[in-house]
Structure 1
């Protein structure tokens, strides 16, 4: 009797518990949605956005800048090692040395497109990029163990493969977090890491090459590879913790901040920064290859990197001033420090003004003036001064991939491939440049400078053509912005509307404000 009376009571209790649990779940979901929308409220939006950008600037930027510093230090270590006996110890002639420089790009260039396709498809770039960093750090360290020309050649090939993931991947990752008006300065800070690495790398090399000769019976140039490689590996492990993933799944952001990060980018382009479900891996590649701007940007990048190919030979150039090895490496630092400052100021103004062409081309014109001075003077002071102008020309390249990202913003699959194609083809300029600065043309290198002047002139003309194309496309946007959108474009605007809590019509109205930056 007692058990029979308790049965319904227990059953009612279970039902009551279930109802309460469901109510709590619904309330929790409701509160979560409310919390997600809280940061989008006009009263909170500005401060919340500043806090989000500050958090990214404190974690994402320092990490990728640090990686990029070591990226280029590892890449140019062979140039510094040459000054302390690498060529003699491995019995390498000048043609073979040029091949050692060039072969890195033979693996680096073709690997960039598949790497960025992978990066766009995976959900955890915080694992992928650091893994590649650790891999190239290990390979770079093993370069110090090379005993022959063939061994050095193999090491350089395998350094180039994992390095291919970084620079185009870093630019793509930045474009997944920062708006068009924020991207140029951040990308310039990243590229400033490269310029800083030229200065810091030369100073580091000077210290290692002058202080480690013969330690434990090992040549100093071998210690250079060992030490720099180990530092890179340590930074790779640190990056696993520090780097973000994407706006929708970064663990160290709250759900509200994740939503805000997605909404910012959707508002910036009037579309969600996502690929449509039916777009395959090859869709982005096909779209990029069909866009004539990608081809033009690729030739611009290739010709300008050939025009700036002195970067890989800079310690050799400063050695022509006829000072000791240590002094030559120390003299290599100040021009790069100035270049880094110019790069950041130039990019900051590019973000503020929204202008792209002049901020890219004017530094090239400064480098052309530097080459002209180098050709026309034989004085040590004049030639050293010309090197400052030459290095400042790199401020133009710092914004090239930013302009690609601005000119080809959506869909992300197309943007990621476009960035990889432009940077990959562009680095063919570095490959060709490995043979432009021939030893027999030194110490004046006039023929090399003539080639570089021609290349930077070509880059300027093609960049002007791209500017004209973007002006024309903006005029077309004005004519077409009242037409109905269909297919993938409509889906991305619908997704942007969902993220922002807007109607499709309201999101479409915001889309009308988008214009290409030129």
Structure 2
């Protein structure tokens, strides 16, 4: 059944000059049939087909290939990111569930410093992790990093001082830094441009679910495990998180498919492996470049490294990724809620995050543009931060805007998909930028969080002017991603077309 389809796609690839049977330009002049120009994907009506999972006219065999990728590649990616955010959030849930009282932390900034040391690990690890993944097989590298940070999470159950937490949080951040950019890079190796935003959104949504589950798990442990085995419930949280991560790492070792060029996945047949390579080549994103000394030049002279790093840094400075933590501290400061409620209520932010990530991914894929989507989400986020800056508003309104701040999460899959699209087939440049922008985002947020959002000033941060400063960065993020990056991309495309036209004119003159 797959053989005729294989011949059909091989012939089509040869006509496009991208497959194994492709001819040189000299051969094409004498071919029996004229050379065929690469066909552009048909433009679809804006309204029809909004909820289709595949491109129109996708063959049954290719749909089966995409299904396998979604089942194995996407499922592990989501599980990995779920565990990452579960392990990133557990310190906050433990902190408000008895840890600060048991260890005598008092009114200091211990929680902020735990975040800072975690970000320091991320800062060091992310760029190098995503260069390593271009050399080491992803199915070894990513599950290996997951296993490593999980052991450091387990170690936190026995901590009795803040400095012990600082050391283990740094190690967690160092290895966790491979997860987000590494998986985003791998998704960019397999999926088309029109498929990327939705898959990237589902991947990042799994992290939101991890944040939510951490709250639910801590609430359940507080009710059922307090004092079991002579351990406080917050200590049990780290043990349970470790136990959940082990089967996910094992699953990744066996089922993650690597890249189309190197895959040995048992669930893909030979036609599917070839078609996976062709799908990317048809979009002009076939792997180019290699790991050598030219990497530095290719990266330093690209507009993408500066544009997307600035965008991610601005996103980090909105403190969006910590808004659930600040909401938790706000609820605790009101003295209106029980410990399980303080852990459970902020998970509503995750529900909003889920909605905006999925819907923004669909809209971006269908529009083929990410700028307008970033502009719309930024406008809503600006409204939320205006209310938080005012602060003296009714409790119900404050609760509502804290929850609506969950729309911030849509930016990460949008920016990651944008990088995968804009960098084409340069594997090293694409990998480095995904890691580097994560690293810089973590670097800029370290002093910002310490001086603008120290946990001792929670939840209104009046003395440090936390919310007003974050509002300024929200406005900058909205303008940069909604207008700045699209303008740069159009300029780059026009420049590339002029260069291509000049080369053709020069060739004709000879």
TM bucket (normalised to shorter chain) is 0.7 to 0.9
CA distance in 2, matches of 1:433, 1:48: 51
96-105 vs 344-353, greater mean Cα deviation:
96-105
Aligned residue for 2:227?
214
Match of 2:16 in 1: none
Cα distance, 1:60 vs structure 2: 1.1
Residues in 1 aligned to 2:69 and 2:460: alpha-carbon distance in whole angstroms: 45
Decide whether the 8 Å contact of 1:103 with 1:153 is kept in 2: yes
Question: 375, 382, 393: which is aligned to 1:368?
Answer: 382
Task: Give the match for residue 283 of structure 2.
Answer: 268
Match of residue 306 from structure 2: 295
- Residues in 1 aligned to 2:296 and 2:232: alpha-carbon distance in whole angstroms: 46
Query: For residue 90 of structure 2, what is the aligned residue in structure 1?
Result: 77
Unaligned runs of 5+ in 1: 1-31, 486-518
Distance in 2 between residues matched to 1:190 and 1:280, nearest whole Å:
27
Contact 2:194–2:368 (8 Å) recurs in 1: yes
Query: Cα 1:172–1:246, aligned 2, differ >3 Å: closer, same or farther?
Result: same
The structure-2 alpha-carbon separation of the partners of 1:398 and 1:361, relative to structure 1 and needing over 3 Å to count, comes to farther
**Range with bigger deviation, 402-411 or 175-184:** 402-411
Displacement of 1:176 = 0.5
Is structure 2 residue 450 aligned with structure 1 residue 437? no
CA drift of 1:63 comes to 1.3
- The verdict on how the C-alpha distance between 1:143 and 1:378 changes in structure 2, with shifts beyond 3 A counting, is same
CA distance 1:152–1:47, shift in 2 (3 Å)? same
1:394 counterpart = 2:419: no
Indicate the residue corresponding to 2:495 in structure 1. 476
CA drift of 1:231 comes to: 0.8
| 1:242 alignment partner in structure 2 | 255
Q: What are the Cα deviations for residues 224-269 of structure 1, in whole angstroms up to 9, with x where unaligned?
A: 1111122112211122122111113232311111110011101112
1:462 pairs with 469, 480, 487, which one?
480
- Select which of 84, 104, 111 maps to 1:97: 111
Say which of 131, 149, 159 aligns to 1:117.
Answer: 131
Q: TM-score normalised to the size of structure 1? A: 0.81
Distance in 1 (CA, whole Å) between partners of 2:379 and 2:331 is 22
Q: Please give the TM-score of this superposition, normalised by the length of structure 2.
A: 0.83
Alpha-carbon distance, 1:411 to partner: 1.2
**Structure 2 equivalent of residue 343 of structure 1:** 357
Q: How does 1:103-502 map to 2 (within 5 A)?
A: 103-122=117-136, 124-248=137-261, 249-251=263-265, 252-269=267-284, 271-275=285-289, 279-307=290-318, 308=320, 309-321=322-334, 322-376=336-390, 377-435=392-450, 436-445=452-461, 447-463=465-481, 464-484=483-503
8 Å Cα contact 1:116/1:165 also seen in 2: yes
Q: 1:117–1:281: 8 Å Cα contact kept in structure 2? A: no
SS in structure 2 at match of 1:398: helix
Alpha-carbon distance between aligned partners in 2 of 1:371 and 1:427, rounded to the nearest angstrom: 21
Deviation at 1:388, TM superposition (A): 2.2
**Structure (1 or 2) with the larger CA radius of gyration:** 1
**Equivalent-residue separation in structure 2 for 1:331 and 1:311 (angstroms):** 10
Measured in 1, the distance between the counterparts of 2:243 and 2:205 equals 23
Higher helix share: 1
Take 1:425 and 1:471, find their aligned partners in 2: how far apart are those partners? 25
Could you tell me how far apart the structure 2 residues matched to 1:314 and 1:298 are?
Answer: 27
Cα distance per residue 1:114-142 (max 9 Å; x no partner): 111110112x2111111111111111111
Tell me: CA distance 1:103–1:365, structure 2 relative to 1, closer, same or farther (3 Å). Answer: same
Deviates more, 1:290-299 or 1:103-112: 290-299
**Structure 2 contact 111–455 (Cα < 8 Å) conserved:** no
